[in-house]
Each structure stands twice: as structure tokens, then as C-alpha cells.
Structure 1
């Protein structure tokens, strides 16, 4: 139906389970001394099982880096940057690092071995795809200028990201070069992630607008682009999505969604909503999460936005 970030998620948010550890988790250092576990608003919501998994995961990070970068002799000790966070294998006691690593664990039901595999695969993919270059690439505004918007925040401070696929846009120009579209889409995702401080906010809301999209406008290229994007985001951007709304969805796409609903993991399904057309209908779905002043008028809010 569309790219669906985080489809592999199989656990519920950490906040759904009560926190019964102290505000300052204590960890034994190699010398036997105790050190305070750095905390922020997000790590304070980790459950005891999550802390146990995280501590075990930390021990695997040097080997994971060596596997991700086999050509680098210092891979086990060299720091890397992921989503604006420095991950230093010699000092992993950092709250924001904990938040990033926990995403891979939650995406794999707190399995350290499976989380490690996902982490390695993500680092390898980022190198192969050359995410850094994609983020610096200049994309034609006449093709991509109106395709994506980051506007406003939800009531909990999460950024709201809009993908507008229909309207008067030339879909053949957008999807004519599938790899260019994917580079744009990844760069747009990375730009969205920059708005997550990973201190109090580590997820976003996405709104996918299909107004103007029809069966005839979806050719092989657009289908391939959607499929590849779905694979990228579900495999390499875990637990970054809070909720996703599909709005102005054509009736045929609604039918496809319900057809494949049994195949979608329940945790992912809980994040997804298919909404009809019209500002009033869309507003009823979005306004419980997003204040009217933060929501564009075209979607039932009060904001003068794109």
C-alpha cells in the first residue's frame, strides 16, 4: 500500500509498562566500582527487562561494529554517528545512545542477537546506500518540492511529517528514476529524524496524503519505489514511527489495505489508520493527536501551511 516504517515492530511502547527501577540505574564497571547510569526522560521509562537487554547489547557493540565495517582495522574502538548520536564503543554509558540502541532491541522483541543482526545490517546499508551523500544531494524542486513537508508538532511534541503523493504532481517525474526517489525519500527521513532530540522525543507522526492518486497513475516504477522504500524503512529505521495516517485514500486502496490487514503485525497495525477524504473527516482523525493550530487547514486544522 505504501512505505510503512517500522513494520517489524513487535513490542509495545516502553511507557505501557510501569517503571520500577530507581531514577538512577546503577551499573557495575569493569573495575568493580559502581557508576551512575545516565538518564533522560526516555530512558527513565525503560522497563527492567529492557535494561537487562540493553546492558547485554552494549557488550556486543564492538563486535557488531567490526562486523559492520570489516575493512576498518579500528572498527571495534572507533566511534560512529547514527541519527546525530555519537556511539563510542569505549563509552556506551550515554542516555541518547541508550535510546538509539533500544530501538533495535524493541524492534526485535528485546532479542540481543536479533537486535545485533539488525544493527549490523543497518550500518552496512547506510554505507552502501551512502546516506550522507543523499542528504547533501540537491533534488529538483519542480519534482520534489511539494512532495514532502515537515510541519508542526503533535500534542506530545512529536514532529508531524507529511507526504503528499497526489494532487497536480507529475508522478511519472517523481518515480521515473526510482533510485533518485529513494535517495530523496531517505534524505527526507533523515531530515525528519533531526527534529527528534532523543531526550524527550524519539518518534514522529506521519501523514500520507493520496488525494489525486488513481489506479492509472500507479505504474511499475511507483510500485517498485513504494516496495523498496517499505523495505528500507522497516529494516533500517526501527521504532521511529509513533503513528501513521493514510488520508484521502482512494476506495481501491482501502480495499487493498483490508485485504492485507491479516498479514500486518498487530503492533504495526495499531499505529496505522486509514482515513477518508475531506477536511472535516481528516480533522476528526488527526485533531485528537494534533492541536488545531498545528494542523494545516486542508486537513481540518487552523494553520496556514503548505
Structure 2
């Protein structure tokens, strides 16, 4: 598979991140190609050659059950019989058409190969397989992007603490097939979250984290992953809307950038590489801050008991070498204010205070620190309000670049600890 990459910090409009069109997508051309494709698919199903060479001597004694089974061929839970369509049939068939530049006979061949591969690979049964605990932390499905697409993470750096014998075993010829099956299983799990009906989220975002993914055997591991990518492109067309590979080592980024330019001059936005300093900025173009994990500079925490994606997130633009204040006023006494704050790229002075309304009361310094550039974890804090006042958050930008600040807050009724002990 050819990898055409783009640096994550290029300043382009959001719509430029869409997968480039292989042809000028004239609506009439697409509609005509889809009608032709549906006709050929149904003809192949009736002729019993969707999985292989046409049967030149069809059996005239085929039972009704056998005929019905041919007519009930499904892919990812979607019926492929155009005359008995599922609401997602057109969407699914269009994925195969688009992957082959709307050339109908090539799309049909790709569909046939995919169905044959799934039968041989037993892909429909793979969800029941258990591959052991070693890969549980490597991949997980978490949140959605701005368009409602599921976001699937692969965190390869979690393999760095594995003993060398484990890595050697994992990339061996014997176990590479097992790894490939595990990767297909992850894809099948993701597809369960998709909706092929019109207007539904019918593709996903794949975030691949290469942090700490370096060592004597990473070259072999990347070779295994490259095989996975090739398989996914061949048999899961249009399922992965975007690859975003983050924390890419500089050496690898430079080599891939150079080699891709030698291969082709055509633009491609399907794969984006982001170096460590551009991870948060890149991911925020696709994922809103409330849905981006805190380890990538967002506000989302796993199993968060305080906030959900439904809580409103506020955004501020902080100019170079400028300061800003965030003021959270206490609505009443006897509540606790909880807040999250994150600055893209940090490199700021950050201070939190409680400022009472009564001039005779003391201000309370909650924290005052220098947040270095490259940090990603958001700040979470809380304060019990026992008198009227407000939380004041001061941020000063030390860099010569404008930064984005995201924050959210809430209040919750709280019973003071001393009252609990008193009762």
C-alpha cells in the first residue's frame, strides 16, 4: 500500500481533510455506476458465482432453502441483494465502487474477493475468538469525532515494557497470523459501532500512537502492521475514513515524507503523520476537546465521574505573549465548583485563586506553576465555596504563537466534612 503523508500542522481548511476524489464525482455518473453495480451483484447472486467462477452447469434441483441462502448473503450485517435491500446496501456498495474509481467490473471483483476471503478467513466467527490479555491495552474504541464517527486507538508504545522474548515471539512467522487475526477482530468490533443507513456514521477514525515505539524489533513490528494495513485497504474499503499517526519519530517522518514524494505527486489526506509537538493540535481538528483523551491534550477521562461530553466546553484564543483571566463566579454558598482547563501546547504561567467578595476576607491561592511546552495533561481542580466570591484562573502565554484554551466547569451541592462528623 502506498503511504502518502501530510504533516499534521499544515494550515488548511477542515474540508481539505476529506479523502481525495479518485474521479470527478458527478452525481449522474455515480448513480449510473451504482445501478449497474447492483444489477451485476444480483446477477452474480442468482448465477451462484459471487464467490467464484460462474456455474456453467447449474443444478436444476436446488432446494428453496439453498436459493434463499444465496439471496441472504450479507456483509457486516447488510444484505447484498439489491432487490431485497437493507437501508445500508447502497452505502456499502458505494464503498467498493469508490475504491475502484467507479469502474463496475473492478468493484465487483473486489467484492467477490472480499467475500471469498471472509469465508476462508472465517471473519464472521472471529469475534468469538480469545487472543489473550497481551493485546488488551494496545487497542481500544473510545469516543467519536466531530462528525460522529467512532475513534479507534492503537497505542503501540504499550509494548515497550514487554520482555524482548515476548516481542520476538509476537513477530515470529508462527504468531504473525495470530496478530493479523486479532487486528481483524478489532476491525469487526469497530464495524459493530457503525451505521450504514443514510446519514449514519459509516466509517471510523484510526489513531495510531507510536510514542516510545522504538527498539531493535520495531522494524519487524512495523512490517507486520504494514501487512495489516494492506489487508484492511483490500477488504475493508471506505471503513477507515482517516489514519492519524501521532508521536512519529523525526527520522521515520522524514524518510516517509521523502519516499512518498518520490512515489507520487498526487495529494492524499488519508494518512496524517503528527510529530510529538503537534499531536494535540492535529487531533483537535478532528475530535472535539470534550471527546479527546487527556493524554492527548483533551478533556476526556476514562470513567469520569464529574464530567461527560454533554457538559459545555468554552474556548479562548490566547495571543502571543499575552494574558487572560477565566472567572467562574460562585452562584451560592455551600457548593463545590469543579473545573477542567487545558492549553494546547501549554508553555504558560498558570495560577488559580479564590477571590472573595468581602474585601476583609483573604484570597486563597490554589496553585501557581509554570506549565512547560509539550505537556498535554489538562488541569482539574475543585474548591468548596463557604462565602461569596469567584474562582479566578490566570494564564500567561510565554510563546510567540497564539494558543487555544479550553475549559469547562460545574457546581455541585456539598455537605461540609465537619457536619458529617458532627452527625
TM-score by length of 1: 0.78
Shift of 1:266: 4.0
The residue aligned with 1:83 is 76
- CA shift, 1:206, in A, is 0.8
CA distance in 2 between partners of 1:190 and 1:219 (Å): 27
Q: Is the 8 A contact 1:149 1:163 kept in 2?
A: yes
> What is the alpha-carbon distance in structure 1 between the residues aligned to residue 142 and residue 264 of structure 2?
28
Aligned with 2:125 (options 126, 130, 133): 133
The answer as to 2:240 corresponding to 1:204 is: no
**CA gap 1:145/1:77 in 2 versus in 1, 3 angstroms:** closer
CA gap 1:60/1:11 in 2 versus in 1, 3 angstroms: farther
Aligned residue in 1 for 2:410: none
| 8 A contact 2:141–2:151 mirrored in 1 | yes
Conserved? CA contact 2:243–2:270, under 8 Å: yes
Query: Which structure features the higher share of strand residues?
Result: 2
Matched, 1:121 2:138: no
Match of 2:103 in 1: 111
| Residue 155 of structure 1, aligned match among 122, 125, 146 | 146
Between the aligned partners of 2:294 and 2:266, the Cα distance in structure 1 is 32
| Partner SS, residue 125 of structure 1 | helix
> Could you list the per-position Cα deviations for residues 9-50 of structure 1 after superposition, in whole angstroms to 9, with x for gaps in the alignment?
986299x968xxxxxxxxxxxxxxxxxxxxxxxxxxxx2221
SS at match of 2:120: helix
1:69 maps onto 2:68 in alignment: no
Q: Deviations over 1:115-155 (max 9, x none)?
A: 011111110111111112322101111x1011111100011
Gaps of 5+ in 1: 19-46
Partner secondary structure for residue 79 of structure 2:
strand
**d(CA) in 2 for partners of 1:129, 1:211:** 32
Task: State TM-score, norm by structure 2.
Answer: 0.57
1:285 is the counterpart of 2:285: no
| Partner Cα distance (2:146, 2:88) in 1 | 22
Shift of 1:77: 4.0
Aligned residues of 1:244 and 1:273 also touching (Cα < 8 A): yes
More helix by proportion, 1 or 2?
1
Query: Are residues 1:58 and 2:38 paired?
Result: yes
Matched with 1:34 is none
Higher mean Cα deviation, 67-76 or 180-189?
67-76
Larger radius of gyration: 2
8 Å CA contact 1:2–1:226 kept in 2: the answer is: no
Distance across 2 between alignment mates of 1:89 and 1:77: 13
**Which secondary structure state, in structure 2, belongs to the residue aligned with residue 150 of structure 1?**
strand
Q: CA deviation at 1:202?
A: 1.1
Say how many residue pairs are matched: 267
Cα distance in 2 for partners of 1:259, 1:219 equals: 18
After TM superposition, list the pairs within 5 Å mapping 1:15-54 onto structure 2: 47-54=27-34
Pick 1 or 2: higher relative contact order, CA cutoff 8 A, min separation 6: 1
